[in-house]
């Protein structure tokens, strides 16, 4: 049965999967949601026999119903290949009675690779299906991680170009190095003099520039976005929850049908929403534990039913979770409101105007699958140190937030169900914070010395993605003012005035 996608802000706007992937965000600002969540329709004991790629096919074909089998298999083959340094793609590491689902074995050693390695293929396939003759130009502003993962995903994918703007002094030196050494004929990386907001506002202006759109159209290009509200990023994230259940079952760690609690370090609410969809497909997931850092808007929301972004923004050692507006939460709100566009629009308007909204008592009750938790900076460091000292396993600060929240949940609730902790970044990506946590003091060493030390104490080889950076040539040197962004786009695309 075909699954259609409708906008959370306009019930009349219904698209097929490939149309929704091409469009990204709905014109009225809504997010596309599947009209229903398909059942997995597979006995659970079949799961342990499936590879990651086979699991991906079974899950994704349920959602992307207008893709043919051949198209989908081709996308999966192109995405989940030797770019990943583990043949299991998403292996599980057991430590201190918990199961760490490692989503950092892709090209940029963070979990965004799980979706961004397949999105380019889903997009170009969708474009072909829709008879779109224009080349896709991905335009992104990044605070660090997403930009690099998008670059790695789109590099040398035929029919696409990608241009990433980053704040020149607003990303870490490793992050900058990762981006400016990006290979690929179709890639371009430019530093902006300003902060992340400047870069993001600049990109938003480019997207809504009608004159530029017209010029692009004539030159045979169309803009698109790779950000996390695209349904083509959400669906591939459901896969690893299904796969993880199969692996645990196959290893005899759980009995068939028994629930697993899942803890997710959360920022934009994409990853944990995918776990919720996996549960609705029929995977036995107990609690969905939403872990925040000190920017704990979601923790407060789950406790009180009030979403309130009016608060100080805290810079933490888990920067990918430093978010005050979790854009994917809108998809859950819409569902809790009974797929009622009017109610959802009222909440989102309130968020836009007052910076807050409050859901009803009834909606809050329906949130009982979710548990909110948060870890302070101290607790996060303490968890890295504790787990390392007890087991020798080293986790990154984002994963440590989840791990800390999970430990507290298990103690407080006496819930003995197995716990799956989603591990979203390699500790090598945050070697400085990780080494400081383990040694309880800051060291006067450069990034690569710390990376080597981390490798020694953990017994884990330095990932290729990090090792390569030492010698990789800088290929992108351009730094511009915000006012020059439009010109830079035209130059990159070879559009004459």
Ligand X SMILES: *Cc1c(COP(=O)(O)O)cnc(C)c1O
User: Could you write out the DSSP letters of every residue in 294-313?
Assistant: S--HHHHHHHHSEEE--S--
* Candidate segments 67-75, 265-273, 340-348, 407-415, binder of ligand X by CB under 6 A: 265-273
Task: Determine the 3-state secondary structure of 61 from DSSP.
Answer: helix
Nearer to ligand X, 129 or 398 (CB): 398
Q: Which residue intervals of 106-195 are DSSP H helices?
A: 112-116, 119-129, 145-154, 173-180
- 111 sits near ligand X (criterion: CB under 6 A): yes
Distance separating alpha carbons of residues 183 and 14, to the nearest angstrom? 38
Q: Is 116 exposed, middle or buried (0-12, 13-18, 19+ CB in 10 A)?
A: buried
* Candidate segments 4-12, 160-168, 259-267, 433-441, binder of ligand X by CB under 6 A: 259-267
Asked if 434 and 383 count as a contact pair (C-beta separation under 8 A), the reply is no
Nearer to ligand X, 106 or 267 (CB): 267
From first CA to last CA, the distance across the chain in angstroms is 49
Which residues are paired to 261 by β-bridges?
419
Q: How far is CA 428 from CA 93, 347, 435, 464, in A?
A: 16, 40, 10, 11
Q: Which listed residue (320, 344, 403, 433) binds ligand X by CB under 6 A?
A: 320
- Residues 143 to 172 in contact with ligand X, rule: CB under 6 A: 145
* Candidate segments 109-117, 358-366, 411-419, 463-471, binder of ligand X by CB under 6 A: 109-117
Nearer to ligand X, 117 or 266 (CB): 266
Q: Which listed residue (18, 182, 187, 268) binds ligand X by CB under 6 A?
A: 268
Q: Which residue intervals of 337-396 are DSSP H helices?
A: 341-354, 361-365, 377-391
Sequence-distant (6+) residues with CB within 8 A of 357 are 306, 307, 346, 347, 348, 350, 351
Q: Is 489 exposed, middle or buried (0-12, 13-18, 19+ CB in 10 A)?
A: buried
Binding mask 204-243 for ligand X (x = CB under 6 A): ------------------------x---------------
Q: Which listed residue (6, 108, 230, 266) binds ligand X by CB under 6 A?
A: 266
- Count of CA atoms in the C-beta half-sphere (13 A) of 461: 8
Taking the complex as a whole, the smallest distance from the CB of residue 8 to ligand X amounts, in Å, to 17
Give me the helix-helix angle, 270-281 and 329-336, nearest 10°: 40
Binding mask 275-314 for ligand X (x = CB under 6 A): ----------------------------------------
Q: Which listed residue (58, 110, 438, 465) binds ligand X by CB under 6 A?
A: 110
Nearer to ligand X, 127 or 290 (CB): 290
* Candidate segments 24-32, 250-258, 262-270, 309-317, binder of ligand X by CB under 6 A: 262-270
- Residues 20 to 39 in contact with ligand X, rule: CB under 6 A: none
Taking the complex as a whole, the smallest distance from the CB of residue 270 to ligand X amounts, in Å, to 3
- 271 sits near ligand X (criterion: CB under 6 A): yes
Taking the complex as a whole, the smallest distance from the CB of residue 398 to ligand X amounts, in Å, to 4
Nearer to ligand X, 290 or 345 (CB): 290
Residue 376's CB is within 10 A of a number of other CB atoms, namely 15
- Residues 404 to 433 in contact with ligand X, rule: CB under 6 A: 424-425
Given the rule CB under 6 A, which residues bind ligand X? 110-112, 145, 228, 265-271, 320-321, 398, 424-425
């Amino acid at each position: 049965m075909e699954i259609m996608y409708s906008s959370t802000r306009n019930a009349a706007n219904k698209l097929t999967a490939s149309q929704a992937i091409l469009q990204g965000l709905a014109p009225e600002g809504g997010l596309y949601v599947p009209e229903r969540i398909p059942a997995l329709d597979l006995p659970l004991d079949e799961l342990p026999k499936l590879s990651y790629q086979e699991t991906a096919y079974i899950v994704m074909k349920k959602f992307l119903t207008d893709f043919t089998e051949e198209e989908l298999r081709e996308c999966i083959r192109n995405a989940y290949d030797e770019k990943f340094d583990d043949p299991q793609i998403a292996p599980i590491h057991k430590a201190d009675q918990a199961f760490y689902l490692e989503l950092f074995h892709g090209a940029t050693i963070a979990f965004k690779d799980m979706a961004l390695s397949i999105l380019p293929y889903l997009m170009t396939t969708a474009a072909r299906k829709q008879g779109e003759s224009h080349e896709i130009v991905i335009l992104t502003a990044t605070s660090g991680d997403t930009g690099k993962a998008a670059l790695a995903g789109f590099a040398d994918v035929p029919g696409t170009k990608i241009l990433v703007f980053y704040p020149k002094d607003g990303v870490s030196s490793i992050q900058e190095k990762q981006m400016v050494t990006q290979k690929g004929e179709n890639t371009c990386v430019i530093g902006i003099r300003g902060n992340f907001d400047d870069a993001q506002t600049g990109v938003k202006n480019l997207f809504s520039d009608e004159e530029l759109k017209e010029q692009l159209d004539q030159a045979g290009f169309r803009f698109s976005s790779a950000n996390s509200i695209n349904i083509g990023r959400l669906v591939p994230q459901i896969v690893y929850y299904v796969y993880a259940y199969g692996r645990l079952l196959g290893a005899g760690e759980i009995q068939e049908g028994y629930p697993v609690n899942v803890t997710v370090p959360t920022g934009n609410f994409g990853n944990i929403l995918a776990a919720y969809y996996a549960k609705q497909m029929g995977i036995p997931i107990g609690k969905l534990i939403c872990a925040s850092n000190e920017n704990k808007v979601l923790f407060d929301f789950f406790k009180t039913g009030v979403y309130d972004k009016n608060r100080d923004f805290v810079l933490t050692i888990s920067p990918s979770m430093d978010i005050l507006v979790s854009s994917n939460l809108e998809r859950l709100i819409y569902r809790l409101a009974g797929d009622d566009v009017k109610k959802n629009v009222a909440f989102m308007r309130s968020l836009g105007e007052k910076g807050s909204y409050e859901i009803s008592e009834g909606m809050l009750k329906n949130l009982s699958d979710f548990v909110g938790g948060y870890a302070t900076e101290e607790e996060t460091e303490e968890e890295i140190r504790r787990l390392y000292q007890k087991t020798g396993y080293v986790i990154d600060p984002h994963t440590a937030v989840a791990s800390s929240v999970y430990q507290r949940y298990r103690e407080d609730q006496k819930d003995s169900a197995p716990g799956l902790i989603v591990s979203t970044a390699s500790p090598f990506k945050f070697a400085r914070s990780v080494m400081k946590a383990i040694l309880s003091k800051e060291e006067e060493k450069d990034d690569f010395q710390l990376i080597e030390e981390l490798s020694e104490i953990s017994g884990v080889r330095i990932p290729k993605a990090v090792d390569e950076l030492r010698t990789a040539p800088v290929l992108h040197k351009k730094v511009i003012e915000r006012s020059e962004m439009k010109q830079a786009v035209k130059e990159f695309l070879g559009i004459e005035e």
